Amino acid sequence: MPWERSADGLIKHLVHHRLDTRECCVEAYMQFLKAGERSGKHRHMWEEIVFVVEGSGYDLHWDMRFDCLDAFKWEWAEVPKKFEWKEGDYIYIPPFTTHQHFATAETRLIMMSNRMVKEMGYDWFDQVENAPGFDPSNQSAP
């Protein structure tokens, strides 16, 4: 798949259901962020692991509190937790956590997630904020 200017920034899918790969349970994509750039902000039902191939920066994570008593109640923290990262680090993003990446140097990230939750029909995804420069009418790389 070609590079894609997505709502989360410049990405390239590595393992994806639209690719002709034998992998059926994992998705992976690479993301590039220039120094000072940020990704889009989003949340989803599945957990995600991010490997920092190169660069440095930080993540903001808004944890979610979920109660299921008489009705479903979803609440996200108003104040995010900040996690700094650098080349060689892993970032764990729990299910439902709103998150966003910020680069302090030119950065390359590899994101990996379990596709099984999606295959079971739980493909809930919420794009809270688009990456700067995202134009939905032109989603290809420059």
Tens of pLDDT, residue by residue over 121-133, are 777 788 999 999 8
Report the 3 state secondary structure along the chain: CCCEEECCEEEEEEECCCCCCCCCCEEEEEEEECCCCECCEEEECCCEEEEEEECEEEEEEECEEEEECCCEEEEECCCCEEEEEECCCEEEECCCCEEEEEECCCEEEEEEEECHHHHCCCCCEEEEECCCCCCCCCCECC
Q: What does pTM read for this prediction?
A: 0.86
CATH number (3.40.190.10, 1.10.357.10, 2.60.120.10, 3.40.50.2030) of 4-129 reads 2.60.120.10
Tens of pLDDT, residue by residue over 28-75, are 999 999 999 999 999 988 899 999 999 999 999 999 887 777 777 778
Per-domain residue ranges for the chain?
Answer: 4-129
